[in-house]
Amino acid sequence: MTTAHEFWIEPLRYQIDNGGTLEADFKNGQEFSGNTLSYFERNSSRFDLAFQGTLTALSPRLGDSPALNVPAPVTDVLVSVVHETTPSLLTYRVWEKFLKFAKHKDFPNAAADHKAAGWSEIKFKESYTRHVKALIAVGNGEGSDQRLGLKTEFVALSNPYQTGFDNLMQVALYFEDHPRGNAQVEVFDRAPDETVTISLHRTDSAGRVTIPVTNGHDYLFDAVVLEPSEEASTEEGATVWQTFWAALTFNVPQ
């Protein structure tokens, strides 16, 4: 079992007919299985659809579930759904839990940096935000993903829905508009029978990584940035870390 909870956008269908309905849930959980969350404006700093170079802000009603429920374009197009959350707080009361998280998400210097700063190991907080994207094909899914200005962001350089896709999913990872080189990417691969396989990958110096994928499977790519909080202090209970979680979900058609 992993030691962190991922957050992602899960379309009810990854491929829909022209003029159909785009529907997707917000999900929070572990190993690509989790709870469905309703839409609440206070938890959302951004919720958009992007396709063919256009960006449309979404305005669901409070409590909507699925969070995304809008008419699809009538043309063949790849739609990118993007969502960024407002900050939430996590309190650590057991030092070993932070150590497990830091190891799992590949922050080898976090414990030493924490100790060097003189921060409490008895009780401290982490502020976290989510920066998630899902790819949905309308019709034959023509088009491509693009950089959309998320704080941290996966950009799909391949279109898994297009005819001729070679089952090599190439993505670029960014943080504050800069490529994240040598960054860990955790991949959750869910088969049609709901079994999930997890693997770890690493971006190159340009922030890119190519990951083999399988027809008929759903995918969640996850990458996390850990930085000291601007509010950090040696006071017990202070918010000393902040994390920024990037996620990308898509399906590879049969």
Chain segment 197-248, per-residue pLDDT in tens: 999 999 999 999 999 999 999 999 999 999 999 999 999 999 999 999 999 9
Q: Per residue in 98-131, pLDDT tens?
A: 999 999 999 999 999 999 999 999 999 999 999 9
CA atoms of 206 and 24, how far apart (whole Å): 31
Q: Which amino acid, 79? A: V
CA 23 – CA 103 distance, rounded (Å): 35
pLDDT-based confidence at residue 1 (cuts at 50, 70, 90) = very low
Buried b (16+ CB within 10 A) or exposed e, 54-70: eeeebebeeeeebbbbe
Query: Could you give the 3-state DSSP secondary structure of residue 160?
Result: coil
d(CA 162, CA 137): 9
Tokens standing for residue 67:
């969070």
Burial class (CB in 10 A: 0-12, 13-18, 19+), 136: buried
